[in-house]
Amino acid sequence: MNRDFWKAGHWPTLLAAFLYFDLSFMVWYVLGPLAIQIAADLHLTPQQRGLMVATPILAGAFLRFGMGLLVDRLSPKLAGILGQVVVMLALGAAWYFGIHSLEQALLLGLFLGVAGASFAVALPLASQWYPPQHQGTAMGIAGAGNSGTVFAALLAPGLAAAFGWQNVFGFAVIPLAIVFIAFCLLAKNAPERPAPKAIADYLRVLGDKDSWWFMFFYCVTFGGFAGLASALPGYFHDQYGLSAITAGYYTAACVFAGSMMRPLGGALADRIGGVRTLLGVYTAAGVLLGVVGLNLPNAYAALALFVGAMLALGCGNGAVFQLVPQRFRKEIGVMTGLIGMAGGVGGFLLAAGLGAVKQATGSYQLGLWLFASMGLVAWLGLYGVKLRWRTTWGAAAVAGARV
C-alpha cells in the first residue's frame, strides 16, 4: 500500500465502511459463539443448533440482494443507515422481551440477516471512490470488517457466562450505536456513481455466465469462512469437549486469521493476479479441510489446520473482489449483492449441513470432506475459464489491475 492509494480515494469513507462492516459482522455472527449456551437452555439438538446459527447467514444472503438494489436506487450511505437502525431495534427487542424458543431464535436470526447484508453497502461505498488499480486494496480494507466475528467469538461466551446470554444482545447495541454516529458523520457517497438500472437490467446480469462463476467462487471462499465461523464453536465443543468460552477462543483464532487475510488477499491479487491467487486458495483450503476431516485426536492439531484453511479462504475473499470491479464496474452494486448472496448461501449450507451430518452420523467427517471437494470443483472451474478471461475482459483491464 503506497501513498498514491491514500490520495486516490476518500479515506474517511473507507474507515466508515470498515467500522460499519466490522460491527455488523459482529452481531450477524453473534448466535454462533452463543450457540452452546443457547442450545443448553433451549434443549436444542445438534441439527437445531446448526439451523439456528445458519439462519442469519441465509437471511443475510438474500437480503444482500435487496440491499444491493437499495444501494443503486438510493445511495450506499442511506442504505447503510436504514440497515443499522433495523438491526439495533431487533437486538433491543431480543434483549427486552427475551428469547424463549427455537422459533424466536430463528426470528432474531432473520433480523440479524440485515447486518449480514451490510456487505452490499460497505463494499460499493468504498469501491466507488477508487480506480481499478487500487480496487483490490480498497475492497480488502473495507471487507476486513468481517473481523467483527473475532470480537463476537472472544467476548460473547464470557459475557453470557457472567450476565446471561440474553443480555449479550443488549450489550451489542452500545458499540452499534457509537459506530452508527461515526458512519453518519464520516461516510460520503462518491461523486460519480453508476446510474440506477431497471429490474430487467439486474436480471440481464444473470444472463452473463461470468456472474455465475463469480457467485460460485465466492460461495466457496466466503461460504467457507462464514459457515466455519458459525459452526466451529459447536465443533470444538462436541469433538473435544471444550467449554463454551474455550471453544470461543479457538474459533476467534480461526476467524481472526481469515479476517486479516482478506485485505492481504486483495493486495496480493493486485500484485500477482486474482486468478493465480484463487487457484492457490482453493488448493490450500481443500487439502487442509480434507485432513482435518480425518477427526484428528488432538484439538491443537485441528485448530492449526482450521487456522490455515481460514487464512486461505480469507485470502480468497479479497481476491474475488479484486476481479469483480474489473469485470462488472458499472454493475458493482447489483453484482456485490448477487455475489454476496451466493457467499451467504454457501455459508448457510455449510453451517446447517455440518449440524445435520453430525446429527445423522455422529461425526463431522463427511460434512468437512464434502466441503473440501467443493474447493476442488472451484479449482477446476477457475482453471477452465482463466484463458477466456485473460483474452477477453482481462486484456482490457486498466494497467496495474491484473487478472
Whole-number pLDDT of residue 400: 41
Amino acid sitting at position 164:
G
Cβ contacts of 98 within 8 Å, gap of 6 or more: 166
Nearest to 367 by CA among 289, 302, 306: 289
Which tens digits make up the pLDDT trace of 311-326?
A: 999 999 888 878 887 7
**Which residue would you say has higher pLDDT here, 234 or 121?**
234
The residue assigned the cell 474517511 is: 12
CATH architecture of structural domain 12-188+196-394: Up-down Bundle (1.20)
pLDDT-wise least confident of 102-106, 301-305, 387-391? 387-391
Report domain extents, the chain: 12-188+196-394
Q: Provide the mean pLDDT of the chain.
A: 86
Task: Quickly list DSSP for 366-389.
Answer: HHHHHHHHHHHHHHHHHHHHHHHH
Which tens digits make up the pLDDT trace of 126-155?
A: 777 676 666 666 766 776 666 788 889 999
Nearest to 125 by CA among 176, 81, 177: 81
Whole-number pLDDT of residue 399: 41
Q: What is the mean pLDDT of residues 177-206?
A: 80
* CA–CA–CA angle 336, 339, 342 (5° rounding): 145
Please return the burial class of 192, using the count of CB atoms within 10 Å of its CB with bins 0-12, 13-18 and 19+.
exposed
Whole-number pLDDT of residue 250: 95
- Using CA atoms, how far residue 343 sits from 209, 348, 386, in Å, is 17, 9, 21
Is the torsion defined by CA of 342, 220, 122, 173 positive or negative?
positive
Q: What is the largest CA-CA distance in the chain?
A: 59
**Which residue would you say has higher pLDDT here, 187 or 398?**
187
Kindly report whether the global pTM for this prediction surpasses the value 0.75.
yes
The residue assigned the cell 436444542 is: 44
Contact 227, 347 (CB under 8 A): yes
**Which residue would you say has higher pLDDT here, 13 or 38?**
38
pLDDT band at 102 (very low <50, low <70, confident <90, very high): very high
Please return the burial class of 96, using the count of CB atoms within 10 Å of its CB with bins 0-12, 13-18 and 19+.
exposed
Rounded CA separation 111/114 (Å): 6
Please state, as a whole number, how many other Cβ atoms lie within 10 Å of the Cβ of residue 381.
15
Q: What is the mean pLDDT of residues 282-305?
A: 93
